[in-house]
A and B are shown apart, each in its own frame.
Chain A
Amino acid sequence: MESIRIIELKESIFADNNADADRLRGQLKQQGTFLLNLMSSPGSGKTSTLKRTIAALQDELSIGVMEADIDSDVDAAAIAATGARTIQLHTGGMCHLDADMTRQGLTEFGTEDLDLVVLENVGNLVCPAEFDTGAVKNAVILSVPEGHDKPLKYPLMFEVADVLIINKIDVLPYFDFDIQKLTEYAHMRHPGLPIFPVSAKTGEGMDAWTDWLRRQVAEWKQ
C-alpha cells in the first residue's frame, strides 16, 4: 500500500548553508586564517581597494585573494600583478557564493599558510547578503557615485556588514553625496557599524581601514 504523509519542517531554506558556514569558520579558526568577504555593487572599486590594501599589508601578512565572478578572469589578473596569491572562481551564472562554493575554492587554493584570504564576492548588493560564506567578517564597499541612500534600498546588505568602506571620496565635490546622511542611514540598519571613507585612487583614508583589518586578523589568530 502506498502511504502518503506530510513531514512538517518549518525550517529556513538557508539552514543547511548557515550550518556549513559555521563549520568552515571553525576550520579557518583552527588553521589561523582570516577570511574576509568583500561585497559591493559592480564598479564600486572592490579590486582597486584590494590592491591598495594588499600593498599596505603584504609585508606583515601572507595574503590570498579569491575572485568570484560569473565569468572572465580580469580581476584575478589585476590582483595577481600585486604579488598576492590569486584564484578565480566562476559561479556558473549564480549571483552569489555560498559556504560550499567558498570551501571548494579554499581547498583548491590551499590556504593553510595564509593569514588573510579575501573573497571578492560577485558584484551585487542583494543576493550575496543572504548567503553566509563562512567568512569571519563581511566588508561592504559603497562608492560616492552610487548615492548615500543605498542603506535604505538594500537594508540586508548593511545589516550583515561588519564594516563599511566609502570609496571614491576624491570625487565628492562633483556629487550630491552626503556622508552624514549615509552614516545616519547605515546606523539605522546597523547601529555602531564602523565606516571608513577612502579613495583607492589617491590612497586617502586607507590607513584607518587597513589598521582596522590588521587588528581583526590579529584578534582572530590569537
Chain B
Amino acid sequence: MHELGLVNYVVKQVSRIAEENHVAKIHSVTLEFGEVSGIVTSYLYDYWNWYTKKFPLFDGAKLLCEEIPAVTWCDDCKQTYPTVQYGKTCPHCGSGNTWLQQGNEMNIKQIEVEDTREGDQNGE
C-alpha cells in the first residue's frame, strides 16, 4: 500500500530530474531508507518492476536500496545508542527522555543515467 505510493513518487521525481538533465535512459535508482522508516523493501521491488514498465525512460532500470542505521540520542546522559536493540529506553542511564537522531529517512540518493546521444549538449 504505502510502498506503492512511494514508487509512484520516486518515478515522478526522477522523471522530472531526468528531463532537467537531458537524460535519455535511467540505468538505476538508489534509494536510502532509515532502519525504522517502516519500509518493506521486498514490496518496493515488486511494485517497482510492475510500475516502471509503463515508462520507456525506466526501461530495465534497476532499483537499489541502502539502509541508514537507526540511532537514538539520550537527552539526559548525552550519548547515542542503537534504536532497534534498545527502543525508547537509554541503555546507558535508563532514561526515557530520548529522541531518534537518524533512521526514519526516505531519500533518493542517486540515479545512474545515460545522456541523450552525441550532438546534444554534454552535461557538466
Contact A14-B106, Cβ < 8 Å, known A94-B5, A127-B5: yes
Is B17 a contact partner of A9 (Cβ separation < 8 A)? yes
Let me know if B2 and A126 touch, CB within 8 A: yes
Check if B5 sits within 8 Å of A3, measured CB to CB. Answer: no
B114:A7 contact, CB within 8 angstroms: no
Contact of B1 among A9, A11, A93, A156 (CB under 8 A): A93
Cβ contacts B2-15/A at 8 Å (1 or 0 each): 10111001101100
Instruction: Check B111 for interface membership: any CB of A closer than 8 A.
Output: yes
| Size bracket, chain A contacts | 20 to 34
B109: nearest chain-A partner, CB-CB: A10
A156–B37 alpha-carbon span in the complex (Å): 10
- Cβ of B118 < 8 Å from any Cβ of A? yes
Query: With A and B bound together, what is the CA distance between A127 and B43 in angstroms?
Result: 15
Asked if B109 and A9 sit within 8 Å, CB to CB, the answer is: yes
| CB atoms of B107 and A12 under 8 A apart | yes
Q: Are A96 and B16 in contact (CB under 8 A)?
A: no
For window 64-93 of B, CB contacts with A under 8 Å fall at: 88
Cβ distance B118 to chain A, nearest Cβ, rounded Å: 6
The distance in angstroms between the C-alpha atoms of A9 and B122, with both chains bound, is 19
Contacts of B31 in A (CB 8 A): 13
In the assembly, what is the distance between CA of A49 and CA of B18, in Å? 46
Say whether A9 contacts B4, CB under 8 Å: no
CB-CB under 8 A from B13, the residues of chain A are 11, 13, 15-16
Listed residue (A3, A11, A127) with the most chain B CB atoms within 10 angstroms of its CB: A3
CB of A95 within 8 Å of the partner chain: yes
Cβ–Cβ contact A3 & B114, under 8 A: yes
| Chain B 81-124 residues near chain A, CB threshold 8 A | 88, 104-115, 118, 122-123
Instruction: Please give, as numbers and ranges, the residues of chain A lying within 8 Å of B27 by CB-CB distance.
Output: 4
Q: Which B residues are CB-close (under 8 A) to A98?
A: 5
Shortest Cβ gap from B75 to chain A (Å): 12
**Interface flag for B21 (CB, 8 Å):** yes
* Interface pair A96/B17, CB less than 8 Å apart: no
Q: Are A4 and B5 in contact (CB under 8 A)?
A: no
Chain A residues with CB under 8 A of B10: 13
State whether B4 touches A12 (Cβ < 8 A): no
Q: Are A95 and B113 in contact (CB under 8 A)?
A: no
A residues sitting closer than 8 Å to B (CB atoms) are 1-17, 93-96, 98, 126-127, 130-131, 152, 156
* Interface residues of B, Cβ cutoff 8 Å to A: 1-2, 4-6, 9-10, 12-13, 16-17, 21, 23, 27, 31, 38, 88, 104-115, 118, 122-123
8 smallest beta-carbon distances between A and B, as pairs: A95-B1, A13-B106, A8-B110, A127-B2, A9-B108, A16-B13, A7-B111, A3-B115
